[in-house]
Amino acid sequence: MKYPNKLGIYNIYGGKFLPELLQPILNSLYKIYIIIIKKKFFKIELIKYYNLFIGRPTSVYYCKNISNILKGGKIFLKREDLNFTGAHKINNSIGQIIISKILKKKRIICETGAGMHGVATTTACCLFNLESIIYMGENDYKRQNINVKKIKLLGGKIFLIYKGNLKEAMNESIKDWCNNIKNTYYVLGTASGPHPYPLIVRDLQSIIGYEIFQQINFNFYKKKYLLACVGGGSNCLGFFFPYINSNYNLIAIESGGVSKNETSSSINFGSVGILHGSNSFILQDKYGNIKKTHSISAGLDYPGIGPEISFYFYKNRVFFIPIFNNEVLYIFKLFSKIEGIIPAFETAHSIFLSFKLSKFLNRKDLILINMSGRGDKDL
């Protein structure tokens, strides 16, 4: 791809709009990363941990019960919930921790919303004997408390942000990074933020999409629909990226929240602006102030979306549809009972859309959902 350029720009999206103090670090990280990613030793190390520690490749599962009931397109799940720690986040955490070891950084910080990135990063830090500091909003701390307990059990230190969510956790992570540049590496968990993080996260998560080439013969199906929920964009982009140049239908599902005024749907209800170091679609008022977000899902409760996925929306390559809280809760219960799989609230957004979409398809059509995580945390 010709995108991004050296400044991390996807057309008008992206960039690195952060304090001057961090610019040399970001520049250095980019230069080192584009060398490391091509090295054989890094690939071998990454594949070793993907296979032996995480448990990749994850399976593609045919939802026979649901598909037979709906009598429409065949519904499949890419089972990222079967990864060790229970979500796709570990793909990125392991990769970035290996990079931090190469850079000789011994103190690791990260932000987390649903807690899955916090658990994954703390787990990777345990593996490589590194200190881990996790920033988490108070609202998410309460509703995702099982992941809080896991982080503490693994030895991670949690810093609580009063009345905060994922946005505030990211704010504090960046502040910490500014104050501890010499010994600290920031493991950003989503495909948002300043360049080169969206690029790094995309590359590490794209293992999801590439594995599917060996698991499904797409030639058997007439119409192909790939569905993924989207907050910042790591799960969505990792799933879609290998298929950007295909003719498959790529649909990203945002969290509609309760209504237009209480939502986390940055594409459908937002506009272009700068948040956390990059230019992309965000939820803001007419003065540029970031709006409060709302979602039943902590992982999607973020007022922005990554620059690359914003670019694909601009190019009409990825379509965005909001799904609302009541729809998520309904499908969370129904799908668990019928299919025997408890999905994360994040994934339940995609599953609900697959039900609606299936009505217009037949058995020769394919709906493939990226099941980003399991629902234990949401019980």
Largest CA distance in the chain: 58
- Is 63 a residue of the active site? yes
Phi and psi angles of residue 112, each rounded to the nearest 5 degrees, phi first: -150, 145
Question: Is residue 261 exposed (0-12), middle (13-18) or buried (19+ Cβ within 10 Å)?
Answer: exposed
Q: Name the DSSP letter for residue 115.
A: S
Give the β-pairing of 131-137 and 157-161.
Answer: parallel
How many Å apart are CA 253 and CA 297, to the nearest integer?
Answer: 12
- Is 117 a residue of the active site? no
* Amino acid at the residue 226: L
The residues near 142 (Cβ < 8 Å, ≥ 6 apart) are: none
Residue 253 and residue 228 in contact, taking contact as beta carbons nearer than 8 Å = yes
- Which of 88, 117, 195, 276 is an active site residue? 88
Phi and psi angles of residue 163, each rounded to the nearest 5 degrees, phi first: 55, 30
Quick count: other Cβ atoms within 10 Å of Cβ 25?
19
* CB-based burial, 162-176: b 16+ in 10 Å, e otherwise: eebbbbbbbbbbbeb
How many Å apart are CA 54 and CA 147, to the nearest integer?
Answer: 18
Phi and psi angles of residue 140, each rounded to the nearest 5 degrees, phi first: -70, -35
Question: Is residue 128 exposed (0-12), middle (13-18) or buried (19+ Cβ within 10 Å)?
Answer: middle
How many Å apart are CA 309 and CA 307, to the nearest integer?
Answer: 6
- Which of 63, 110, 125, 236 is an active site residue? 63
Catalytic residues: 63, 88
